[in-house]
Each structure stands twice: as C-alpha cells, then as structure tokens.
Structure 1
C-alpha cells in the first residue's frame, strides 16, 4: 500500500501510454497519488485526472518558475478549486533560484499570496524549493505557514533546514534522489526525520530513481523509493509503506 504524494501524470511525457503507466502504478501497490497542477496549462489536466480516477487527488497552485505569469484571476481560480472534493492542497508553490524565468521579488510575492490564501482556506501547502533554502524558511515563518503546515516536496536541503521546517509543522518528502549512490545528504536527513513526518514521492516524470536514472520516471517507481527509505530507517518495506501512507492520508485529510 503505497502513496505517491507528488506526481505529474498529466505531463506530455505520458501522452502515449498514460493509462498503462497508471496501471503499472496500481500493479506496483500504489493505492493513491496526488497529481500537481501548477500553472494555467497543468491545473485543468490535473483536475481531469482527479475526476477520472478515484485514487488520484489534486494539488493546485502556481509554480515559482511561472510566477511572472500569475494574475489576480488565477489566484481566484485556485481559491475556487480548493472547494472541490478531490483538491487536497495548494501547491506546488515556493521559490526556484535555479531557472532564471521569474524575478525573485515576483516569486516572493506570488509565494506569499498563496500562503495567505492557504491560511484563509485552511489548506496545507506543497513547497517547491530549489537553491532557496534560507528565503523559503524566512517567508514560511513571516507568513505564519505553521498555521496550515504542508509538505517540503523532494527535499534536498540540510538537516538544519529540515529541522526548521519540521518545527513549523511540515512533513518532509523524499523521492528518487535518495536511491542515488552519491546522495549522501538526502540519506542522512531522511535517517533523522521522525517517522510520523516522513512522506515518499516520485515527482514523475522527473528525478527517476536508480536503476532507471536517466529514463522517464513514473509513479510505479515510488516502490523503489520506499525500499530505499525502509533500508535507511531499518524497517521492513511493508512497515515503511504503511507508515508513509498513513502519514499522507492524515496530512492531506483523505
């Protein structure tokens, strides 16, 4: 019983075999997944998936890479979708200092506005953080994100950063990179994260775990993430799967 808490099954990489990829996930023991809609194109396709499959849920938000494009009506749109029974979080939102597509001040504003919306609607948030650890923590604190909590998606920071996020009530989610041989820091951080705050994900079609690294990722491979997480935690695969699934159900109110 596995829960992929972050996937992009609506991505064009799945246009040729989406139904088969979903079937493979079910065969691998995935009982639930959250698909992420993060801009004007992917929010509708995410909602369609959530409405088509009873085991697929949705998170909707505005990605920092696309921050420059967000209008007031887009925020209103996200707010309206949050009343949908299949929408379980606002995300992915946050900061991305790797891709130079949206100015930092615009990213900060869009991030803050979505945290404010989440607090108004009492919705958890899914955080995208790339090369912006210090500013992420600063904004989460200033905007009182601890009121709603959420998930640090595909966590890549230090234990010090993880601890600050845990102190604000966030869960820490790990994906394919924990299976990489040279991924020393993610493995060390995962080892320290309390079991009741641990989540797993794929971020498919990206961040494919070993031994498929370099190929397209898919939700079925969350099993490989779970196997490595179980090894790091010294648990059986079944126990790790049970714990992380229960954590996700509670975190997202499912």
Structure 2
C-alpha cells in the first residue's frame, strides 16, 4: 500500500543533515505501507530553486510554487512575475502554499490579502489548483475563492467547523488532515476526520512542522504519514488499506498532474 503526503516541506533546513535518510525512511514505510509520493510546496521566491532541486533529486517528490502569507513582508512586485515563469517552466502540481494567516504577529492583513488574491488570479489563469494556508482565516479565504474561482485544491491543516468544511467541499476542495488529528484532545478535528465524506479527505504531515502525538516536541517527517493514516483508519473504523487507497485517489483527483510523479511501477 502506498500513501501520498500532500504537504511536506522537504526542502526545509531541518532536513539538511539527513534528507536522504528521511526520504528513504518514508519510502520504506512500516507494516507494508509506504509513502511513495510527497508534495513539496514553496513558501517564497527565495526557495523556489530549493524546492525544484529537491523534487528533481528524489523520485516521487512533486513541486508546488507560491508565496506564503507569513512571507509577504519580503515580497517584491517582480516576485509575481517570477512565480508565473516558474509555474510555466517547472512541472508544478499546484500554486502554493498560499493563503491567509490571522494568527501570526505582527502581520499586515492588507498585504496578505493582496498577494493571496493575486495568486488566485494566477492559478485561475494557468488552470492550476491551489494549496491553501488557512490558519484562523477560513471565512475570508472562502469569500475570496467565491470571487476568484480556481480549479479546486487542498485546505491544508484544516481545523475549521463542519459548515466551513462543507463550503470548501462545494468549491471543489479537499481537506488536509495530519498530525493534529492524532491528539486525543483535538476533539473537533477528530470528529471531522471521522464523519466528513471520505472523498473529501487527504493526508499530510506538514513536515517538519505540526508534529504528531508521538513526537510532541520532535521533528515531524514524511514517514510519520503511515501512523497518521492509521489514526484516520481507527477514527473511521476502516481498514488501513482502504484509507490508503481512498485518500490516494482523492489526492490524484484534486491534483491531477501528480500522476506524472508516481514512481515507475506504481499504479495511479
């Protein structure tokens, strides 16, 4: 069985010392389940090259390029042109990581919204889905998506309400569940993971961030996606094999270019 990690910052400095081993551990997996494909999103122009390099180096790693809301303070107007050029010349599966963050301080909400909407326009122009950062900003993000429709995408690290989840689903989005779901105290997230339509759910690690319950102060890695998937299987009372197959199919449906990154010999 193979899984897809829909959000993994494999280019991050936290992996510089042992990136080869981290990727090998994910592909080895555990109990007959492995992570065969990883989506690696960029967060600013400065790491477009690093993301592209990582994805060229490791088979099964797929790039996404965007400007993260927490990096808008260093964005220059020409960065949007650079993003367009990168998306046109690199085998990107999505525009991302983009969105809004109403938690980080200090912040400039106006700048965040300007760059978010600009990137939604670019995604619409290029016909690409988006990977959304939605921390404490789900309602303004949904409003922008209604005004600038794009070809779906993933609401990464979703932690909103049932109503908000249903609105994302109606707009053609999947919802990303990862390490936060593994904590018994995360009752709302676990309830959503257990009861939302399974076709709306994809899996992620956000490695090296959002560590799961078994690593509360440690480094998250893509190999942790296997026990994360086991958590979802337990919450839904389903076999891990079915969870793996269904979430994999969901990911390929919302990120259709990802099929080009499935390692040779793997069936989509």
Range of TM-score over shorter length: over 0.9
1:50 is paired with a residue of what secondary structure? helix
Mapped pair 1:250 → 2:230: no
From the two aligned structures, give the one with the greater strand fraction: 1
Aligned structure 1 segments of 4 or more residues deviating by more than 3 angstroms: none
Determine whether 1:211 maps to 2:214. yes
Alpha-carbon contact 1:97-1:131 (below 8 Å) kept: yes
SS in 1 for 2:99: strand
SS of residue paired to 2:174? strand
When the two structures are aligned, how many residues end up with a matched partner?
252
CA RMSD of aligned residues (A): 1.2
- 1:250 offset after TM fit, Å? 2.2
Does the aligned pair in 2 maintain the 1:207–1:217 contact within 8 Å? yes
Q: C-alpha separation between the residues in 1 aligned to 2:81 and 2:165?
A: 31
Q: Is the 8 A contact 1:96 1:129 kept in 2?
A: yes
The separation in 2 between residues aligned to 1:68 and 1:217, in whole angstroms, is 27
Q: Does 2:57 match 1:52?
A: yes
Contact in 2 for aligned 1:125/1:150 (Cα 8 Å): yes
Give the whole-Å Cα distance in 2 for the aligned partners of 1:223 and 1:86: 26
- The alignment partner of 1:41 has SS state of helix
The alignment partner of 2:241 has SS state of helix
Cα distance in 1 for partners of 2:15, 2:132 equals: 24
Contact 1:4 1:32 in 2 (8 A): yes
Name 1:9's counterpart in structure 2: 10
1:14-73: per-residue Cα shift (whole Å, max 9, x none)?
A: 111111001000011011000111113322111101111221001110000112322232
Counterparts of 1:54 and 1:15, CA distance in 2: 18
Q: Distance in 2 between matches of 1:101 and 1:74?
A: 22
Q: How does 1:142-161 map to 2 (within 5 A)?
A: 142-145=147-150, 148-161=151-164
Counterpart contact for 1:196–1:247, Cα < 8 Å: yes
Partner-residue secondary structure (3-state), 1:82:
helix
